[in-house]
A and B are shown apart, each in its own frame.
Chain A
Amino acid sequence: MKFSRFAALFSKECRQIVRDPSSILIAFVLPIILIIIFTYAVSLDMNHLKIAVILEDDSAPARSLAGAFLANSHFESRVSADRRAFERDLVAGHIRGIVIIPRRFGEKLRQGEIKPLEVITDGSEPNTANFVQNYAQGVWAVWFGQHQALTGGTLTPTPDSETRIWYNPELESRHFLLPGALALIMTLIGTLLTALVISREWERGTMEALLSTAVTRGELLLGKLVPYFLLGMLSLTLSVAAIILVFHVPFRGSFLLLGASGAVFLFSALGLGLFISTVAKNQFVACQIAFLAAFMPSLMLSGFIFEISSMPAWIQYICNIIPAKYFITCLHSLFLVGNVPALLIPNMAYMAAVGALLLGLTFLLTRPNLE
């Protein structure tokens, strides 16, 4: 192990990164695109739900109820008297649900009898359907309460409940999506990009020339590891700055710990990337494996969007292997809660262990010759 040889490989790799537009694209442009998308395009909170309100009854209470739906900020409602007109819209996906205020609704209400509202949702998007159902329930409950109060009201229901949301009182989903996106960005740099770079050296024949010099495999691996590590940290800094300064996600932990957890996660991602690239000597296979083993899991199985505890047990086992899951937990806490040692320490230790394991394996599998 000699520093000057490592330094030579290091500066070579840096120059290559700077000169290839695609690595700049992945390290700096795509992160910004992802951040913008997760800010604007992905929101798990629903507004602007398009629904149709079918007014089969023309009485005053029915019209007042329909008015409540029209006034609700979650819904964009259209009112009509005929339900058939909307069935096609539901099939086409133009509306997400139909609320039907049934015939003789007002008449029955006056007799003290309540005819149930019918709600038809588009079950092909269950999440949206749930929201339609819950919001409709809310509109109905509020309207009913007001109606009761007007018509000689009853006492407030008890026990009443008071809801307090800690850490993210505005319930902004981007407050947890954006920090989570950091894990995705680091996976792209750490695994996808590095998986390609060693297979590229094999394909272009530069590996043979490198192997014929005094270089050792430790230097070879470090020469790849360190530049991409720095690139990843740089991209992390840029992304964090964008998230906090431009998109105003609160940050409550310490930057030092954020840097440290980013570093250990990057370490594990780079370990995986280098491991893939020693196993696959061509870029097509390397990219397929990186996509399958790194990108998709950190999108789907990391708790980034989908709640791990709701998944079947066998998938939860898979999730527990994935370093991104541990990084995302750290990120959520650092951004929204603060320094929570009980979470940060074990999670960071796990990521470091995975990185060390993968790099160790890579070291063992890297051959110092052409055999």
Chain B
Amino acid sequence: MPALVEIDRIRKEFRGETAIDNLTASLAKGRITGLVGPDGAGKTTLIRLINGLLAPTRGTVRVNGFDAARERAKLAGFIGYMPQKFGLYEDLTVLENLRLYARLHDVPENERQRQFEKMLEFTDLARFTGRLAGALSGGMKQKLGLACSLLGRPRLLLLDEPGVGVDPISRRELWSMVNALLDGEMTVLWSTSYLDEAERCESVLLLNESKLLFSGPPAELTGRLQDRVRLLRGIEGDRRKLLARLLDKPGVIDGVIQGSALRLVFAADAPCPSLASLGVERDARELIPVQPRFEDAFIDILGGGPGGRSELAERFEPLPDDGATVAAAHTLVKRYGSFTAADRIDFRIRRGEIFGLLGPNGAGKSTTFKMLCGLLRPTSGSAEINGADLQRSGPEARRQLGYMAQKFSQYDGLNLLQNLRFFAGIYGLTGRDRDREIDGMVDAFHFAPYLKANAGDLPLGIRQRLALACAVMHKPAVLFLDEPTSGVSPVTRREFWTHINALVDKGVTVLITTHFMDEAEYCDRIALVYRGRAIATGTPDELKEQVRSADCPDPSMEDAFIRLVQESDRQEASR
């Protein structure tokens, strides 16, 4: 297989810090290669090096035989690049963005119209050509960004996390768009934190701490875990507590909640596990072997997931287990002119529950979310937290609430410690209380090495931890998490869920939105929001049950999501 991109012992340093260390790899022509790794591993830097936007400190990157940095001009038009924060002009329309990038990519005039039509058909954006890019939903923006970078038919396509913040349906569409274009002609490097995507790549590059840990077909890595993954089913009692207990067992390197069951990964040298060897005979009925996934292998090669203990939750006093309704939406409606962003949303969340809001981009999740925490005023209906309407009741009601926004919203200009101090302060913590809580957060999230670093310069994983720390420092009774793990690597996500599970165990109520379907499995109940309405509400297993059919006997959460949305579309069409 000829290599289109050859990376030869490159090293990249920024102000003395190593971002890429002695990396050698190649991208096979006409193939799709996945680029995975934890946050701050150097994925974006690698992509920029291949693109010639950065020059390596040492070593060379050759694309199609040219030096990427020094002979960049010769590669113009050869490479299509979609940066993480794609440069769509939000004040230009869809068609204007396409036109702009078509001309910048030197697409000839006669060719242009044909390519536009193809791209609009591909992206299903034909209906929206006149809409401003800023008014598109997250998924549509990414599709448009992809379309823009595909103009001019590049031979090498570099995609930096195109799936961040994108719902499963749009992600599938992105994936099929790229695959349809592949046809042996185009070479693709796809950086992602969704490991199910990486699993579908022909080859993956796995980066960790600026080094290449693995390069090859994903199955090769997954194969190492054959017979080391088990599903624990028929659990009685609290599966979250059980998971926390099991994660601290020697030999268990990873575990996640999957609906009512637990999925466990065992160490290579661990003896064959059984209910007895785990000491869970009384808690669960069966332990059955299942196929390993790439994600299991990923966690394994990085040395296993975090333990089950949350130092964070240990700081919380348990709240009374009274089953009281903590958060409620009473026929919430939000209209913008003639457009209804949220239509009669209705649900109640009990204390100690994890409630998930799922839905495609632009379906009304964020609107609902913002109405609940008082950032938006509903057109009609009301939202209550602990029995108080946040619109009307004063600041004291908001003290009960912790909020983590979708995009990183700590202060870039402050260092980590200053951010912690600030958020402690505005929630009324003073003096010794404040110092104690801050110390607690520093210990629980292992912030010590980063205290003086500017929040804007922190790796994504640390920034998300900081955001969580700021949201929980004042020990709120209700936690609002809006896509808290967007773009975060699986290891960090597990750590997050360890904390969330343990907090819920203490009686904290959690309302969460996510695009990771495996995370939806952690929720006690889910509301699936689509076109402003809650089209389905129930436990993850209930939702999956709803779509079970002959052609889909064992639906995953993602299947459930997609089928429920399609079903709703069908109903809408038949009406």
Chain A residues in contact with chain B, CB under 8 A?
A: 2, 4-5, 7-9, 11-12, 15-16, 19-20, 201, 204-215, 368-371
Contacts and interface: CB of A to CB of B under 8 A. Distances in A.
B91 interface: yes
Contacts, number: 87
B104 A5 contact: yes
A8 B83 contact: no
Interface residues of B, number: 34
A204 B55 contact: no
A5 B55 CA distance: 25
A9 B104 contact: yes
A8 B72 contact: no
A214 B86 contact: no
Interface stretch (B73-81, B283-291, B493-501): B73-81
Interface of B: 48, 51-55, 69, 72, 76-77, 79, 81-83, 85-92, 96, 99-106, 109, 148-149
Contacts of A4: 103, 106, 109
Contact of A15 (B87, B91, B149): B91
Nearest to A213: B104
A208 B87 contact: yes
Closest 9 pairs between A and B when the two form their complex, measured CB to CB: A209-B87, A8-B103, A206-B87, A214-B76, A205-B85, A212-B81, A213-B104, A370-B53, A208-B83
Nearest to A19: B91
Contacts of B82: 209
B104 A215 contact: yes
B104 A210 contact: yes
Nearest to A16: B91
Nearest to B96: A15
Nearest to B77: A214
A214 B103 CA distance: 9
Nearest to A209: B87
A39 B311 CA distance: 70
Nearest to B108: A4
A12 B96 contact: yes
B48 A370 contact: yes
A202 B99 CA distance: 21
A210 B87 contact: yes
A270 to B, nearest CB: 21
30 contacts: A2-B106, A4-B106, A5-B103, A8-B101, A9-B100, A9-B104, A11-B96, A12-B96, A15-B92, A15-B96, A16-B89, A16-B92, A19-B91, A205-B83, A205-B85, A207-B87, A208-B53, A209-B82, A209-B86, A211-B53, A212-B51, A212-B53, A212-B79, A212-B81, A212-B149, A213-B76, A213-B104, A214-B76, A369-B54, A371-B55
A205 B100 contact: no
Nearest to B81: A212
Nearest to A20: B91
A240 B155 CA distance: 53
B154 to A, nearest CB: 10
A159 to B, nearest CB: 70
Contacts of B91: 15-16, 19-20
Nearest to A205: B85
Contacts of B52: 369
Given A204-B87, A211-B53, A213-B101, A5 B106 contact: yes
Nearest to A6: B103
A97 to B, nearest CB: 52
B398 to A, nearest CB: 30
Contacts of B51: 212
A211 B51 CA distance: 10
A214 B74 CA distance: 9
A365 B126 CA distance: 41
A210 B85 CA distance: 12
A214 B104 CA distance: 6
A212 B77 contact: no
B139 to A, nearest CB: 18
Given A11-B99, A15-B91, A370-B54, 19 more contacts: A9-B104, A12-B89, A12-B92, A16-B92, A205-B83, A206-B89, A208-B85, A209-B86, A209-B148, A212-B83, A213-B76, A214-B106, A215-B104, A368-B72, A369-B55, A369-B69, A369-B72, A370-B53, A371-B54
